[in-house]
Amino acid sequence: MATAGKNLSAYDKNTIPNAKDFRFGIVVSEWNDDITENLFQGAFDVLLENGVLKENIVRWNVPGSFELIYGCKKMQESFEMLDAIIAVGNVIQGETKHFDFVCEGVTQGIKDLNIQSDIPVIFCVLTDNVKQQSIDRSGGKHGNKGAEAGIAAIKMAQLRKDAKFYKN
């Protein structure tokens, strides 16, 4: 189902673990910050709605979405007590192929971080053809992908906790 068929902000609170003991990092790209700030707020609000303490959320900024890779990697290394990290960015097609390389690079880089580290990184990067698509997905008519990412972060933090329990 495409995003157009669902509300990115909608979730059943009864299916979300209580996240009061979880700690989260959020790395935010400054490119298109009118969009990325809305994405950040969507994620931040959802985390608080589900019991996360403000003091258990750490935020770093990076210049652009491509730098999300390095920023998230350093956050994994610096804050070993984090339960999950959310990478927030917005890439919009310009005149050239740069869009393709940035999107592919970020996608592969964040995928690699999930393989190489025990701290999951959630992909909250909008990759849009035009600005209106970004607006629609960061608190507009299709909801907020940041909220979707916040829920994913809680679910992956719980999966990671469960996996540690079964391993011991």
Ligand X SMILES: CC(=O)[C@@H](O)COP(=O)(O)O
Ligand Y SMILES: Nc1c(NC[C@H](O)[C@H](O)[C@H](O)CO)[nH]c(=O)[nH]c1=O
Give the one entry of ligand X, ligand Y, none that residue 48 binds, where binding means its C-beta sits below a cut-off of 5 to 8 angstroms depending on kind.
Answer: none
60 is in an annotated binding site: no
Residues that bind ligand Y (CB under 6 A): 29, 31-32, 63-67, 89-92, 94, 102
**Residues 138, 144, 150, 155, Cα dihedral to 10°:** -140
In angstroms, what is the minimal distance from the CB of 87 to ligand Y?
11
By beta-carbon proximity to ligand X, the closer residue of 58 and 92 is: 92
Question: Which two three-digit tokens encode residue 95?
Answer: 């005149």
Exposed, middle or buried: residue 117 (CB in 10 Å: 0-12, 13-18, 19+)?
middle
Residue 99 makes contact with ligand X by CB under 6 A: yes
To the query of whether residue 98 is one of the catalytic residues in this protein, the response is yes
Give the one entry of ligand X, ligand Y, none that residue 95 binds, where binding means its C-beta sits below a cut-off of 5 to 8 angstroms depending on kind.
Answer: ligand X
By beta-carbon proximity to ligand Y, the closer residue of 19 and 62 is: 62
Q: Which is it for strands 138-140 and 143-144: parallel, antiparallel or unpaired?
A: antiparallel
Strand partners, 90: 126
**Out of 17, 60, 92, 140, the residue judged to bind ligand X by CB under 6 A:** 92
In angstroms, what is the minimal distance from the CB of 145 to ligand Y?
14
Residue 129 makes contact with ligand X by CB under 6 A: no
> Under a CB-based contact definition with an 8 Å cutoff, are residues 17 and 155 in contact?
yes
By beta-carbon proximity to ligand X, the closer residue of 17 and 105 is: 105
3-state secondary structure of 46: helix
Residue 60 CA to residue 25 CA, distance in Å, equals: 8
**Residue 59, Cα to own-chain centre: how many angstroms?**
12
Sequence-ordered strand ranges (E) for the chain: 24-29, 57-62, 84-92, 121-128, 138-140, 143-144
**Out of 5, 13, 55, 96, the residue judged to bind ligand X by CB under 6 A:** 96
Residues engaged in binding ligand X (CB under 6 A): 91-92, 94-96, 98-99, 102
Task: Catalogue the active-site residues.
Answer: 98
